[in-house]
Amino acid sequence: MPYPRGLSPSVAMTQPMKLSIGPLLYLWEREAVFEFYERLCQAPVEIVYLGEVVCAKRRSLALSDWLEIGDRLAAAGKEVVLSTLALSEAESELSAMRRIADNGRFAVEANDMGAVNILSGNVPFVVGPHVNVYNADTLKLLADAGARRFVLPVELGAEVLTALQQQRPAGMETEVFGFGRLPLAFSARCFTARAHNVAKDSCDFVCADYPAGLLLHTRERKPFLVLNGVQVQSARTHNLVGQTSALRALNVDVIRLSPQPEGMDEIIATFRNVLDGCLQSQQAARELLRYAVDGACDGYWHQQPGMDWSVGA
Amino acid sequence: MINTQRHVELVCPAGSLPSLKAAVDNGANAVYMGFRDGTNARNFPGLNFNGGEATAAIAYARDRGVRVLLAINTYPSPGQWEKWCAAVDQAARLYVDAVILADAGLMNYAARTHPQLKLHLSVQGSATNYEAISFYTRHFDIKRVVLPRVLSLSQVRNIIRRVNTEVEVFGFGSLCVMVEGRCVLSSYVTGDSPNTCGVCSPAKAVRWEESAAGRKSRLNGVLIDVYAPQEPAGYPTLCKGRFNVDGNVYYALEEPTSLNVLDILPELLNAGVAAIKVEGRQRSPAYVAHVTRVMRSALDACERDPEHFVPKPEWLAQLDKVAEGRCHTLGAYHRPWQ
């Protein structure tokens, strides 16, 4: 089995934790996307996930554009992974998935079992956060199919991860969603189009007006969720920077930071400083509150409601 | 795989023995049930079956020629693994006609340990395309897949043409707006989700409050909706509340409404679905009897003469009477809903 760049089968237990940038979940202007990744070439992160995960209609960047961005990042020393759609239904979406799987250059993150099926036995792949890995037997099954890294589903916390790590198949890397609004659900319905009283088929890409998603409040005006096309996210920003020593103790290999329009350089620098031992993690957690404009949360890590937050202000 | 059997199976919910009898007595071809614990996705207080009750229930259905499917469709954590395996073992000992599983690891266990046990992929397995379904047919030889309620009619048709297994679709009942098996809205608010605990928006997290503004429903403190004095109040399922987006207060995700496929029944039959499922193991025996009876009449009429099938107004009225929000939708089957 050939190994694409970066995704190597053997990982020493003593390797330092890496930082990854998860796939861009929002629809940004094409230029803004190129600029974002150009800046990432210089950023202190090891892994960058690329591609459209949320909506198949968003095509302002073609696969060739993503590959071009990937080449630049790879030239800058980053491991590049191409992510597939979380919710694939149409034949055209499966064709797009096959083109990603056959890209020949970069590893692929599978975000549903359809992608797992296409990638099985062909190339090593990453199991994304939208594939349900809740126990060691499922993880073993995916390892046998060729998975070399998995992202813990966001609703699972330290307790399950501890058990999973104890039974983790040889060569499997573990990645944890460490910062960003949580991807909570997907639907066939576009909620951003619905907010504008238009059908998905005539959406006119209204989601491009919301580079950080469209905020949904409760009727008491409290921020609750974020509508991002067919995806629903948390309004609060999930932040595990305060848990870095626990993540390290559990031999987590990668911490994922999810792209947002504001403060990405500072968020990356803060995580990097904590991993390098230059910044105390509780202090980092408080410093990052300014980039969690609608509040922070880390409840899932503590086996609590995901919206809860354990760190004092 | 196109359904070549003569009849489409009507699969009805059995949350209790009285509900199971109601389904069997009113024309179900199969019933689905779960054990009284977190191994199934309707883990509600007072529902489901222990071992002895399951034996009696299965005998009642069998004696009347009705098949029994058993749902073990939540995702076991490592600490609960043995308990879920034990549930599969017990299902095998009960000789159920099939188990409905979601977790790939558990399916692997079932396939290896009980090769004679027929496997269905639960809607919670979240397989929305034929490549995903193919993973389960290749590895576990599943006999049927239950499709998530996010597919349009033409997508359902395409899947049936491409897969080597029977396809079951939802026909009536509460509508999940999100792709099943990959929605964690409930655990974000309450800590419990369908995947981990077999519940969505659990009753233990619900609080009702009377206020000057009206009756408020909360889920773990989060305001899901406010009802005016004369307005009927619904259960605060969190995706069916009214929220404020850009100053507009509306059902931002979905209205309280039920899925009802009677309007497209001939198309579904023509597409080759093997089974039509009624949601609602948490509903009363009277509800199950009522819905089963109407769906039986509709299916029989449609199978007799699909060309001229039109849903009778009284069927629709009878179903709307017991539907969430007292109205119905075709959901994602109908493209404009999306």
Q: Residue B154's closest chain A neighbor by CA?
A: A90
Tokens of A46: 């090891």
End-to-end CA distance of chain B: 26
pLDDT above 90 covers a percentage of chain B that reads: 88
Provide mean pLDDT across the span B88-106: 98
Q: Is residue B234 within 8 Å of residue B240, measured between CB atoms? A: yes
CA distance linking residue A68 with residue A129, whole number of Å: 25
CA contacts within 13 A on the Cβ side of B285:
11
Q: Which helix (H) or strand (E) holds B62?
A: helix B51-63
Q: Please report the pLDDT score of residue A6 as a whole number.
A: 52
Q: Residue B80's closest chain A neighbor by CA?
A: A135
Provide mean pLDDT across the span B297-316: 96
Longest dimension (CA), chain B: 61
B135–A305 C-beta distance less than 8 A: no
Q: Residue B223 pairs with which residues in a beta bridge?
A: B218
Could you tell me how far CA A303 lies from the centroid of its own chain? 20
Given a cut of 60, whether residue B282 has pLDDT beyond it is yes
Q: Looking at beta carbons, which residues of chain A come within 8 Å of B155? A: 89-90
A299–B109 C-beta distance less than 8 A: no
Domain boundaries, chain A: 18-180+239-291
Q: Residue A89's closest chain B neighbor by CA?
A: B129
Sign for the pseudo-dihedral over CA of B291, B296, B301, B305: positive
pTM above 0.90, yes or no: yes
Q: Is residue B186 within 8 Å of residue B198, measured between CB atoms? A: no
Residue A36, burial from CB neighbour count under 10 angstroms (0-12, 13-18, 19+): middle
User: Which among B129, B158, B332 has the least Cβ separation from residue A188?
Assistant: B332
Q: Looking at beta carbons, which residues of chain A come within 8 Å of B222? A: 218, 222, 224, 307
Residues of chain A with pLDDT under 50: 1-3, 9-13, 313
User: Which among A86, A89, A218 has the least Cβ separation from residue B155?
Assistant: A89
Q: SS3 for B133?
A: helix
CA distance linking residue B122 with residue B71, whole number of Å: 8
Q: Please report the pLDDT score of residue B45 as a whole number.
A: 85
In the CATH scheme, what is the code of domain A18-180+239-291? 3.20.20.70
Q: Which fold has domain B9-175+257-337?
A: TIM Barrel (3.20.20)
A42 to chain B nearest CA, in Å? Answer: 35
Q: Which helix (H) or strand (E) holds B277?
A: strand B275-278
Q: Looking at beta carbons, which residues of chain A come within 8 Å of B126? A: 112-113, 132
Q: Which of B183, B119, B169 is nearest to B278 (CA)?
A: B169
Tell how strand B328-329 and strand B258-260 pair up.
Answer: parallel
Q: Which of B75, B55, B296, B28 is nearest to B196 (CA)?
A: B75
Which of A122, A132, A154, A298 is best to mutate for the B interface (most B CBs within 10 A)? A132
Q: Looking at beta carbons, which residues of chain B come within 8 Å of A142? A: 104
Q: Residue A118's closest chain B neighbor by CA?
A: B131
Q: Please report the pLDDT score of residue A312 as a whole number.
A: 62
B67 to chain A nearest CA, in Å? Answer: 29
Q: Please report the pLDDT score of residue B335 as a whole number.
A: 87
Q: Is residue B122 within 8 Å of residue B147, measured between CB atoms? A: no
Q: Please report the pLDDT score of residue A3 as a whole number.
A: 46
The letter for the amino acid at B270 is: N
B104–A135 C-beta distance less than 8 A: no
User: Which among A116, A159, A195 has the least Cβ separation from residue B135?
Assistant: A116
B245–A195 C-beta distance less than 8 A: yes
Provide mean pLDDT across the span B313-334: 91
Q: Please report the pLDDT score of residue B44 as a whole number.
A: 86
B102–A195 C-beta distance less than 8 A: no
Tokens of A280: 């105390």
Could you tell me how far CA A136 lies from the centroid of its own chain? 21
CATH 3.20.20.70 domain locations along chain B: 9-175+257-337
